[in-house]
């Protein structure tokens, strides 16, 4: 009996061994296949990364508008342009009523100098990126030069009024200097109106201060 049992077990053991070997080969194939899939996925990821579009620069990193920079600098200059207006109005009123003539003449000459300084400063600004910049700077220059001329004529008028027979019944006599001052003042007003229109279009675009002709 013992011999028969031993003989019958040998084929069974051999079959089990073959089965294990087959399973081992199958598992190896599965593991190998899994590795290939992972490689394909990595390759696909690399291709996506390589072909993805570059990130667009943010708006905050964009270069500033050169025209805006020029407009801001001109706005600063215009903020100073009307600073002498009140003193000029007061001085001319004093001359008309023959009052404070010496101070009036001095204030008018100071105002004329201030207008000249504005012209010089304007010439030092870069405004070539601004729309209609030639017309704007031309109008401002003409306006300030005419205002300076008017101030000088009114100052000379004050000197005349302070002389002999310059006043009559508390009122200044009209002279050629007063007339010349009035003419130049008219030129200045016309040019300031033109300049204000050109400037206000720029100021509106860039959110800067708009100005009336009398503020220039």
Query: Residue 175, SS3?
Result: coil
Helix axes 66-81, 101-123, angle to 10 degrees: 170
User: Model confidence at 140, in pLDDT bands (50, 70, 90)?
Assistant: very high
24 part of a folded domain: no
Range of the domain at 128: 81-215
The pLDDT of residue 61 is: 56
Helix axes 133-161, 85-96, angle to 10 degrees: 30
| Number of structural domains in the chain | 1
Ramachandran assignment for 207, one of left (phi > 0), alpha (psi -120 to 50 degrees), beta (any other): left
124: pLDDT strictly greater than 50? yes
72 part of a folded domain: no
Query: Residue 167, SS3?
Result: strand
The pLDDT of residue 189 is: 98
16 part of a folded domain: no
Greater model confidence, 197 or 5: 197
DSSP output for 152-163? HHHHHHHHHHTS
Q: Tell me: the pLDDT tens digits for 50-103?
A: 444 455 555 455 678 999 999 999 999 999 999 999 999 999 999 999 999 999
The pLDDT of residue 58 is: 52
The pLDDT of residue 10 is: 43
The pLDDT of residue 64 is: 85
Q: What is the pTM of this model?
A: 0.72
Query: Residue 170, SS3?
Result: coil
36 part of a folded domain: no
The pLDDT of residue 56 is: 54
Question: How many whole angstroms separate alpha carbon 87 and alpha carbon 97?
Answer: 16
Q: Tell me: the pLDDT tens digits for 18-31?
A: 443 333 444 444 33
Query: Residue 147, SS3?
Result: helix
Cβ neighbours of residue 200 under 8 Å, at least 6 residues apart? 210, 211
Q: Which of 79, 82, 209, 89 is nearest to 151 (CA)?
A: 89
| Cβ contact 95:154 at 8 Å | yes
13: pLDDT strictly greater than 90? no
For Cα atoms 171, 179, 87, give the angle at the middle one, nearest 5 degrees.
65
156 part of a folded domain: yes
The pLDDT of residue 55 is: 53
11: pLDDT strictly greater than 50? no
184 part of a folded domain: yes
Rounded to 5 degrees, φ, ψ at 130 are -80, 145
Q: Tell me: the pLDDT tens digits for 151-203?
A: 999 999 999 999 999 999 999 999 999 999 999 999 999 999 999 999 999 99
The pLDDT of residue 102 is: 97
151 part of a folded domain: yes
62 part of a folded domain: no
């Amino acid at each position: 009996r013992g011999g028969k049992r031993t003989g019958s077990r040998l084929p069974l053991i051999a079959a089990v061994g073959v089965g294990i070997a087959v399973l081992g080969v199958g598992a190896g194939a599965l593991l190998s296949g899994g590795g290939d899939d992972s490689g394909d996925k990595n390759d696909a990821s690399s291709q996506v990364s390589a072909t993805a579009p570059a990130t667009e620069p943010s708006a905050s990193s964009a270069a500033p508008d050169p025209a805006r920079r020029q407009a801001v600098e001109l706005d600063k200059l215009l903020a100073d342009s009307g600073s002498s207006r009140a003193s000029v109005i007061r001085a001319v009123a004093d001359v008309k009523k023959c009052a404070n003539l010496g101070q009036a003449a001095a204030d008018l000459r100071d105002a004329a100098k201030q207008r000249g300084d504005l012209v010089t400063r304007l010439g030092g600004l870069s405004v070539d990126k601004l729309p209609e910049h030639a017309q704007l700077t031309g109008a401002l220059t003409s306006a300030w030069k005419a205002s300076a001329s008017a101030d000088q004529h009114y100052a000379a008028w004050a000197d005349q009024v302070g002389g002999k027979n310059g006043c009559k019944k508390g009122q200044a006599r009209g002279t050629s200097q007063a007339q010349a001052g009035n003419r130049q003042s008219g030129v200045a007003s016309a040019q300031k109106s033109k300049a204000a229109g050109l400037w206000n279009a720029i100021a509106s675009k860039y959110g800067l201060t708009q100005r009336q002709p009398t503020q220039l």
